[in-house]
Amino acid sequence: MAPRVAEERRVVEAALVGAGGAGGALARGAIAGLLPAFGWHELAATQLVNLGGTMALGLLVGVLERSGPRPRWRAFLGVGVLGSFTTFSTLVDESRSLASMTSSGVALVYLAGSLAVGIAGFWIGERASTLGLQRSSPSHDATETAR
């Protein structure tokens, strides 16, 4: 019985990862296609996608930390939507173009700087999730006492 349940859970998670992956890729494709039409540089579009997605993941991780593990939400939003929405390969390819336009030093600083900004963004998202929960903590305490 137990292996069967585990198997079914995995199938559901696979469907959620796939659906989220499609959504994340479509959203990234839409932003990458739209923003340059409004005069944005393609580098800026990738940065926006990566930073926004990473902050959102920080928020999700922070929320799941407190709510306890929710494998389905993690699979759909974390692995699927946000994992696909953000991209490393495009960032590396854009760094390569930057290297051919400027120098490899500039490209390397750009790539390292992107990682640093992303990590800061993740941390900010995580902090933001605690702020939201602190505000709502009275009702949280109430349910704890009620239990």
Q: Which stretch binds other proteins (CB under 8 A): 1-9, 87-95, 129-137, 138-146?
A: 87-95
Return the number of the residue (37 or 146) whose C-beta is nearest other proteins.
37
Rg of the chain over all Cα atoms, to the nearest angstrom? 19
Rounded CA separation 105/126 (Å) = 32
Q: Which of 12, 21, 40, 64 binds other proteins (CB under 8 A)?
A: 21
Check residue 62 for interaction with other proteins (CB under 8 A): no
- Does residue 116 contact residue 98 with C-beta atoms inside 8 Å? no
Task: Enter the tokens of residue 21.
Answer: 């992956």
Rounded CA separation 74/113 (Å) = 27
Q: Interface with other proteins by CB under 8 A: which residues?
A: 13-14, 17-26, 28-29, 32-33, 50, 53-54, 56-58, 61, 75, 78-80, 82-93, 95-96, 107-108, 111-112, 114-115, 118-119, 121-123, 126
